[in-house]
Structure 1
Amino acid sequence: MIRPLVRPFRGFTGWIRELQHRRVFKVIAIYAAGAFVLLEAASIVMPALGFSDTLFRILVILTLLGAPLSVVLAWMFDITPQGVVRGTPAEEVAEPPTDMSGSGRSLNARERPGVDSQAPDSGHLAVVPFSDLGGSGTDDYLIQGITEDIIGRLAKVPHLRVIAPASVMRFKGQDPAPRKVGEALGVRHVVCGSVQEAGGRLRIRANLADTATEHTLWAESFDYEAEHLFEMESDVARQIAEALEGTLAPAVAKEVEARLTSNMRAYDAYLRGRYRWDQRTERSLERSLELFGEAVSLDPGFAHAHAGIADAHLVLAMYGARPPGEDMEKARNAALRALEIQPDLVEAKTTLACLTGQYDWNWEEAERLFLEATGSRIPYPTAFRWYALNLLMPLGRMDDAREALATNWELDPLSPVTLLSEGAVAFYSRDFEAAKDICQELVTKEPAFAVGHLFLGRVLRQLGDLPEAERVLRAAVSLSGNNAESRAALACVLGASGRNEEVDAIVSELTSGKAYVSPALLAGIEIGRGRVEEALSHLEAAVEIRATDLAWVGQRPGFDPLRAEPRFKALIERIGFCSSLWPPKGPTDQSPPEA
């Protein structure tokens, strides 16, 4: 079908929008400037060469006639990396791909409970990991750090919603088409590029594309000495922001260009630390602590490095890798120091909120801190996720948790932790069938994600499918490197199957003293074997050391057999929960013993 050259648009503003979209104003400006230069040059050169005035007048007429022709061509065609293509009306490219069933359902965002699918907004942006240009050998941590820094800078621009690093890292090592990124992340614009390190210099090539049309909107190359990485990152981010938003207000430009530290060696150590922290193993977290500590020793005023130390200690305690006392206090001190240096640092505030709830059991103060973190002008996806999982869910406020996770999903849609969070809310809400569907989707997408197998095994246990639960939990044990939580969950399934000798073997390993094991895990195993008194004793021991996994004791289905026990009611009230609100009522009453 032949598209008409001119079509009706909605009023004067519709015409202006269409002219801007087709770059007509830009073409007029360029043509006028070029014509002016041409005629000025001709007025000087032609008389000197003996040409008549008539010839000059003909040139003027041709130049004037060329103006409307350039406008028509600008309206009809566009120049893209794929060549000259026919222009697409703004109304068409603004709409996302939809299904062909006539429902009009968007295919850009994954549908999920409580969150409507929506079209990509013009302010939604993804910065996919830059590639190593020509296999130059640029360190992986440096490329990832540059990508994450640019994301962080762009997130400071009002009206821009920038996808979190965990989701864009899914495209690492790929060269995805802009349309593919747009469909996967629900964004209208994508930034991609490459990094090359050679001879003490860094070269970055970056381009900004429209995911609907795949047209390149901006492209630039940057060449700096490696020691001027800060200037390069801020230059790239500022130019991308201005390509999308126009000239930035001075205050915004100042934020975008701000340095985290003035010490390049400290920054390098920090990037290495964040790279290790993202791997989330006990060994990598301990290494990240060393690197963050090195950054702080080089620059004691480096707030983000102090926040990194806080994050590493917090996660080590939350994962049950070490007793919580020492790590939680170190996390607190580091977070408070970071906030002394930079009072609005959302990362440090989120960490402080988490430990205030999980370790101090001061849920009111924790929520105040979480609300400050989630209300920050610069969105921080982890704040929304931790608010949902580490405060709202333990307090039984499942609808509020879903709402917080909806924002997390918008900013971090492809992270496996995002999908796991949705499954966790379903599990603790006793909607085991929904939790099963979500966790099965997760392990299909992420077969090496140990925590996904752990939660799926727990869900299957609740549904009474013991053979499949055992199979999945054995995979969790293997993938996690013999993690204590996975072994404890497996022991619960084995106990429900009457295989007490195997349970005893696992308990013997867990209590050997070789590594810290939360008493709450041992309590879950004893519940599975029907030993109520022993389970309560383990839980009381967990309270004494403020074990971090106690935060969910009021909601976990595995502790349901204890809820009528006076000792258990006293225990959960000591943690700060109201016993009258426990446990939550879900869509199913089937709650066989599990931990």
Structure 2
Amino acid sequence: MDEARKLAAILVADVVGFSRLAGADEDRTLARLRALRSDLIDPTIAIHKGRVVKRTGDGAIVEFRSVVDAVRCAIEVQNSMIERNTGLPQERRIEFRIGVHLGDVVEESDGDLMGDGVNIAARLEGIAQPGAICLSEDAYRQVKSRLDVAISDLGETRLKNIADPIRVYSLLFGSAIAKATTLAGPASSTALNLSLPDKPSIAVLPFQNMSGDPEQEYFADGIVEDIITALSRFRQLFVIARNSSFVYKGRAVDVKQVSRDLGVRYVLEGSVRKAADRIRITAQLIDTSTGAHLWAERFDGGLQDIFDLQDQVAARVVGEIAPKLEQAEIERAKRKPTESLDAYDYFLRGMASVNQWTRVANDEALRLFYKAVELDPEFGSAYGMAAWCYIWRKLNGWVINRAQETAEGARLARRAVEVGKDDPVALSRGGHALAWFVRDLDSGAAFIDRALALNPNLAAAWNLSGWVRAYRGELDLSIEHHARAMRLSPLDPILYNMHVGTAFAHFQAGRYVDATAWANSALHEQPNYPAANRILAASNALSGHMIEAQQAMAHLRELDPALRISNLTEVLPLRAEDLAKLAEGLRRAGLPE
């Protein structure tokens, strides 16, 4: 067999969740993929002098003469897909993952390519986020000074079936740029470099699931989330929110980079092994300023001891970095929302689903939270999170029966604050839902304030407080609370919700330029978020930028065709004067009566 060895730039791409898309509607999915190949992908490859080596069903392996050509092609495809997915529900979007590597390959007589160069590119594609491009260090060196793009260093990463770790870089463009937001203002393409707080600060990274069963991933994540919650209750600590620390899940990380990204002095990492009715937690506490391990321990027990084991880990961390604590705080940190292990298990599964932020996952989360409260009718957190699921449905235009879902959200909210008197999740989610569904802004704010008194590190509660404060007209306080949420969770997957909240407060204050900037920042990350499009349309209209206002309104009406001036009161729990201002802005932008 004739073959030749050479150095080549290899691009590997495939469709995210292709089996799910095809399973839902195979004919439509295949037709859309064929159309994308004929009018976008293949022409773009040709323009950048690429050669399709192999089709892989929903993907392709492509050879380029240079890494610059490969990356330019990848960026053009990804940016085009952002535009093509605009207005489509999440479950119907076609999104690509792309990996690019410069490496040694073997070209066979039929033109096929083999070798590590192809294998590494394929593994890079496998770890890329939807809509992103991952580069190996060899590829990155070729483009870092030649392309005007923002790049995130993901550090040394172990790739499946590749012997040595490889340093990986992710290209930030389009929606991904919002991940690099700083508190000084909306989206920026610069990397985060946050200063340390004036108290001991820590991020708890996702623990490795050592059970040998991928289905137990939710359980390991839940253990970590509860450790974060226990640490968060200590006022003397600054604790990064779960949604930001879990950005590092599945990656080999440099703790000093984590320190720069999140602005923390300490990092806790570890593993969880669950086998039959036994559980083992290992944990290591690292000082990021030196990279030194302060301690490493193993915690063993029966499954029935799970809450006690979590408390032991939290107590060991606190004893190391903040030894002088009041006994009342120590006792408060030990409080658990349920004694039922089965209800707890369903709650953990629900949280794993809700954190996927899709309609299908939201429906599944609701089912699991209902199961949790069926097993423990006093489980406040589960009621609060179920109420939040109904709010998320409303925010994203997924509501089927508005009156019925509003009534159920109100019922869940009341139950959450009734049974969750010392539960920050129940109080914050329930209080926010009371503001939304019952229009009781005063009680909603009071319950969220109590949640923050119990857990001052709860980023989600600061975000919810920011929204409720804006509904009450406390605009500077709203902006301040959203800023606290962003600092506690600077890499949050729903950072765009915090940006929209900030935009909304600026809009109400008549600061339309600031409102527009923050709304645009949110839309960079999530272009199909109705709330951001509402503020963008109204802000541009009231500041006289009618073309931009009409463009935002056109997109908004695609996302929420039922929205009218007459039913705005069903969308946001606003005071009369604030509702009138929003209505006037949207009316000028073109929203029908």
**Alignment TM class, shorter chain as reference:** 0.5 to 0.7
Larger helix proportion, structure 1 or 2? Answer: 1
Matched with 2:572 is 549
Matched with 1:409 is 486
Match runs of 1:301-320 below 5 Å: 301-320=378-397
1:125-163 per-position Cα deviation (integer Å, ceiling 9, x unaligned): 211212334965352321221111110111122311211
SS of residue matched to 2:383: helix
> Could you tell me which amino acid in structure 2 is paired with residue 522 of structure 1?
R
1:393-421 per-position Cα deviation (integer Å, ceiling 9, x unaligned): 23443222112223222322222233343
Quote the Cα distance in structure 1 between the aligned partners of 2:296 and 2:200: 19
SS of residue matched to 1:139: helix
> Could you tell me which amino acid in structure 2 is paired with residue 382 of structure 1?
A
1:144-198 per-position Cα deviation (integer Å, ceiling 9, x unaligned): 2111111011112231121111221222222222211111111121112223344
Matched with 1:559 is 583
Q: CA deviation at 1:205?
A: 2.3
Quote the Cα distance in structure 2 between the aligned partners of 1:297 and 1:451: 33
Q: Please list every run of 5 or more consecutive structure 2 residues that lacks an aligned counterpart in the other structure.
A: 1-179, 187-192
Check conservation: 2:284, 2:297, Cα contact below 8 A: yes
Check conservation: 2:255, 2:267, Cα contact below 8 A: yes
CA distance 1:460–1:359, change in 2 (3 Å): closer
1:202-236 per-position Cα deviation (integer Å, ceiling 9, x unaligned): 33321111222222112112333445332322222
Matched with 2:37 is none
Check conservation: 1:310, 1:348, Cα contact below 8 A: no
> Could you tell me which amino acid in structure 2 is paired with residue 161 of structure 1?
F
> Could you tell me which amino acid in structure 2 is paired with residue 294 of structure 1?
K
Aligned counterpart in structure 1 of residue 408 of structure 2, from 312, 317, 330: 330
Matched with 2:464 is 386
Quote the Cα distance in structure 2 between the aligned partners of 1:237 and 1:139: 22
**Greater shift in the superposed pair: 426-435 or 237-246:** 426-435
The answer to whether 1:398 aligns with 2:478 is no
CA distance 1:176–1:247, change in 2 (3 Å): same
CA distance 1:215–1:473, change in 2 (3 Å): farther
SS of residue matched to 1:259: coil
CA distance 1:461–1:552, change in 2 (3 Å): farther
Q: CA deviation at 1:109?
A: 9.8
SS of residue matched to 1:551: coil
Check conservation: 1:235, 1:257, Cα contact below 8 A: no
Quote the Cα distance in structure 2 between the aligned partners of 1:552 and 1:168: 36
Aligned counterpart in structure 2 of residue 348 of structure 1, from 415, 419, 426: 426
Quote the Cα distance in structure 2 between the aligned partners of 1:261 and 1:357: 26
CA distance 1:109–1:120, change in 2 (3 Å): farther
CA distance 1:351–1:447, change in 2 (3 Å): closer
The answer to whether 1:112 aligns with 2:184 is yes
Check conservation: 1:393, 1:425, Cα contact below 8 A: yes
SS of residue matched to 1:296: helix
1:433-462 per-position Cα deviation (integer Å, ceiling 9, x unaligned): 434444554555x36774697469647964
Check conservation: 2:388, 2:433, Cα contact below 8 A: no
Quote the Cα distance in structure 1 between the aligned partners of 2:449 and 2:381: 20
The answer to whether 1:360 aligns with 2:383 is no
CA distance 1:198–1:359, change in 2 (3 Å): closer
Check conservation: 2:470, 2:478, Cα contact below 8 A: yes
CA distance 1:434–1:309, change in 2 (3 Å): closer
CA distance 1:442–1:317, change in 2 (3 Å): closer
SS of residue matched to 1:119: coil
> Could you tell me which amino acid in structure 2 is paired with residue 386 of structure 1?
L
SS of residue matched to 1:125: strand
Aligned counterpart in structure 1 of residue 301 of structure 2, from 197, 221, 224: 224
The answer to whether 1:185 aligns with 2:262 is yes
Check conservation: 1:111, 1:117, Cα contact below 8 A: no
CA distance 1:130–1:442, change in 2 (3 Å): farther
CA distance 1:486–1:346, change in 2 (3 Å): farther
SS of residue matched to 1:147: helix
Q: CA deviation at 1:289?
A: 2.3
SS of residue matched to 2:285: strand
> Could you tell me which amino acid in structure 1 is paired with residue 410 of structure 2?
R
Aligned counterpart in structure 2 of residue 243 of structure 1, from 320, 323, 330: 320
SS of residue matched to 1:402: helix
The answer to whether 1:273 aligns with 2:296 is no
**Greater shift in the superposed pair: 157-166 or 257-266:** 257-266
Quote the Cα distance in structure 2 between the aligned partners of 1:365 and 1:453: 26
> Could you tell me which amino acid in structure 2 is paired with residue 559 of structure 1?
A
SS of residue matched to 2:435: helix
> Could you tell me which amino acid in structure 2 is paired with residue 331 of structure 1?
G
Matched with 1:522 is 564
Matched with 1:40 is none
Quote the Cα distance in structure 2 between the aligned partners of 1:239 and 1:273: 28
Quote the Cα distance in structure 1 between the aligned partners of 2:517 and 2:376: 48
Note the aligned Cα RMSD (angstroms).
3.8
Quote the Cα distance in structure 2 between the aligned partners of 1:248 and 1:373: 20
Quote the Cα distance in structure 1 between the aligned partners of 2:219 and 2:263: 27
SS of residue matched to 2:265: strand
Quote the Cα distance in structure 1 between the aligned partners of 2:347 and 2:218: 10
Q: CA deviation at 1:428?
A: 4.5
Q: Please list every run of 5 or more consecutive structure 1 residues that lacks an aligned counterpart in the other structure.
A: 1-107, 478-484, 490-509, 511-516, 524-537, 564-590
> Which runs of at least 4 in structure 1 moved beyond 6 Å after TM superposition?
none
Give the alignment's TM-score, normalised by structure 1. 0.58
Determine which structure has greater relative contact order: mean sequence separation of CA pairs < 8 Å that are 6+ residues apart, divided by chain length. Answer: 2
Quote the Cα distance in structure 2 between the aligned partners of 1:294 and 1:380: 25
User: Taking every aligned residue pair, what percent have the same amino acid on both sides?
Assistant: 23
1:472-519 per-position Cα deviation (integer Å, ceiling 9, x unaligned): 889xx7xxxxxxx56157xxxxxxxxxxxxxxxxxxxx4xxxxxx4xx
CA distance 1:195–1:469, change in 2 (3 Å): farther
Quote the Cα distance in structure 1 between the aligned partners of 2:549 and 2:586: 26
Aligned counterpart in structure 1 of residue 498 of structure 2, from 418, 421, 430: 418
Quote the Cα distance in structure 2 between the aligned partners of 1:555 and 1:468: 18
Check conservation: 1:453, 1:473, Cα contact below 8 A: no
Quote the Cα distance in structure 2 between the aligned partners of 1:310 and 1:124: 31
The answer to whether 1:169 aligns with 2:192 is no
Check conservation: 1:314, 1:351, Cα contact below 8 A: no
Aligned counterpart in structure 2 of residue 144 of structure 1, from 200, 207, 221: 221
Larger strand proportion, structure 1 or 2? Answer: 2
> Could you tell me which amino acid in structure 2 is paired with residue 409 of structure 1?
M
Check conservation: 2:259, 2:265, Cα contact below 8 A: yes
Q: Matched residue pairs, number?
A: 400
Match runs of 1:420-499 below 5 Å: 420-442=500-522, 444=524, 446=525, 450=529, 454=533, 458=537, 462=541, 464=545, 466=547, 470=551, 487=558
Matched with 1:321 is 398
Give the alignment's TM-score, normalised by structure 2. 0.58
